[in-house]
Amino acid sequence: MNYTWEVAIKADKSNIKRENLKYIPTRYGSPYMEVAFEDINARKIEEHTIEVNPLYRFQDIFMDLFDINLQKYCEMREYFFDIFMQYMIQIDLRQGYSKKEYYYKFVLKEILNNFYSKQNIEALKCFNKDEVYLIFCFVIKLYNCGSSLFLFKQIMRTLYKKSIVYASNDYINEYLVYIDKEETEEELKKINFVIGMFLPINFKIHLFWESHFGIIDVNETMKIDEIALF
């Protein structure tokens, strides 16, 4: 990690809130790197205090403020530096935004502002950041093309690699969903969130968790003590 924005991305992937990171100026950093880690090949964030070379990109701004001979107001200058770096990191990360990223932010903001329901806010907390991003990429596709049934199958396969979605032979608005995962309260919230986002309200869904329902002539589904009744 060379730049502070790389540290922020690594924090996201490590489920560390960006605002919990504190950036402080260092006197002993490399002139060729912005972030001053003891191990230049570090791939993980082990400390929440990140030492930064203030002159690497912002020499014109910090050259006088962090002069080595200046001893006064150290705490205040470090506080200002942390605020500045937090702001610049947000600008750095937004420079690569596409329309899809902006749409993602808008839709997520609508849900978090309780435009949908409190249940959806609680369900979102069960997903990790990567899963939330994937879901809302599919939501944007839903707004653009309106093919919710096809997208429902896609998002299920994305979130649950071994899941299978079956269309009922008896009713056109009935689906059977095999998840191949242990049923928990958290997983049920996640599934109900996806169902509510991508399927019409008149659809009936039957969930099968660890055990698949039996299908004649498909040996994998006809194992003794591993068949779900339907």
DSSP the chain: --SHHHHHHHHHHTT--GGG-EEEE-SS--TT-SB--SSTT--S---SEEEE-THHHHHHHHTTTT-TT--TTHHHHHHHHHHHHHHHHHHHHHTT--HHHHHHHHHHHHHHTTSS-HHHHHHHTTS-HHHHHHHHHHHHHHHHH--HHHHHHHHHHHHSTT-EEEE-SS-TTEEEEE--S---HHHHHHHHHHHHHHS-TT-EEEEE-SSEEP-TT-GGG--TT-EE--
pLDDT at 39: 60
pTM flag (> 0.75): no
Region 28-47 average pLDDT? 71
pLDDT at 213: 62
More confident: 96 or 136: 136
